[in-house]
Amino acid sequence: MFALYKKELQSFYYSPFAYVLAALFMFIFSVSFVSAISDLTSNTLKFTFSNIFYNNFFYFIFIIPILTMRSFADERRGGTEVLLYSSPLPVWKIVLAKFLAIVTVYLFMMATTIFFPIYAAATGGQVVWPALICAYLGFFLWGLVCIAVGMLLSSLVGNAIIAAILGEIVMEGLLFLDTFAGSRLVDSYPHLNSVVTWFSMQRRFVFFSQGMFRLEDLIFFLSLTAVVLIWNILSIEKRRWSHR
């Protein structure tokens, strides 16, 4: 499994792919950071980065499908899908290796943003570190779900471009689930509203961004990631057996 993980990771970093995406995300984060500073009414740099993280995830969901679109679609397009599925590795290890490789790239992108709170603290700003750590954790957990969804779409569609487009649509839908829950139509049905609100990742991320660590939110993100990954494993397992 480690060999496949290493191979997948090399496919990102032996090409400009991961570096370009990281630079793009860094640029977006920089713009948000500068914008937050320019909106301050005092000379003291005091904010928790929660708004920056929230606004950046709106843009970051355009990057995650690009990361995940090739995970399985390229295997089918390149004709290596059969070789991969006929390997001695079980399907769950194949999925997990690809997932961990993309998560590693995702962590690399997040690590590039640590410069900003350090800079803010070094220049006299008051950075609320517990809230910042919670915001990073919520940002990471939300990303795990989106990575798992993107991989699933890549395995189902088999075309990298279509997988990326569908990934954008699905992740936009997940992002605006909270807005949908607050609509007049859903709000008129209390039980439906409670169900939709419970599945809202946006609402759960707000707690993290405010420095509130809740175990139920952690379990929600990890459980949803695991469910999507299991769905991915079952989908690939079904196709694997169809090749035999």
Please give the Cα distance from 138 to 158 (Å, whole number): 30
pLDDT at 64: 87
Q: How far apart are the first and last CA of the chain?
A: 22
pLDDT at 182: 67
pLDDT at 40: 54
pLDDT at 36: 66
pLDDT at 149: 93
Domain ranges of the chain: 2-22+73-242
Q: Select from 201, 183, 202, 205 the least CA-distant residue to 192.
A: 183
Please give the Cα distance from 50 to 47 (Å, whole number): 8
C-beta atoms surrounding 214 within 10 Å:
12
For residue 46, the cross-strand partners are 126
Q: Report the predicted TM-score, pTM, of the whole model to 2 decimal places.
A: 0.86
Which ranges of the chain would DSSP assign to H, the alpha helix?
2-13, 17-38, 50-60, 64-68, 70-77, 81-85, 91-111, 115-122, 129-157, 160-175, 177-181, 184-187, 190-198, 201-209, 215-242
Please give the Cα distance from 55 to 60 (Å, whole number): 9
Q: What angle do CA 56, 225, 150 make, to 5 degrees?
A: 60
Contact 157, 72 (CB under 8 A): no
Q: Kindly list the averaged pLDDT for each block of 10 residues, start to end, along the chain of length 244.
A: 84 83 83 68 52 70 84 72 72 91 91 82 75 86 92 86 87 76 70 74 80 88 94 84 62
Contact 129, 45 (CB under 8 A): no
pLDDT at 39: 58
Alpha-carbon distance values, 3 to 43, 98, 137, 196 (Å): 51, 11, 28, 40
Q: Is 48 helix (H, G, I), strand (E, B) or coil?
A: coil
pLDDT at 242: 65
Give me the DSSP letters along 127-191.
--HHHHHHHHHHHHHHHHHHHHHHHHHHHHH--HHHHHHHHHHHHHHHHTHHHHHTSHHHHTSHH
pLDDT at 45: 46
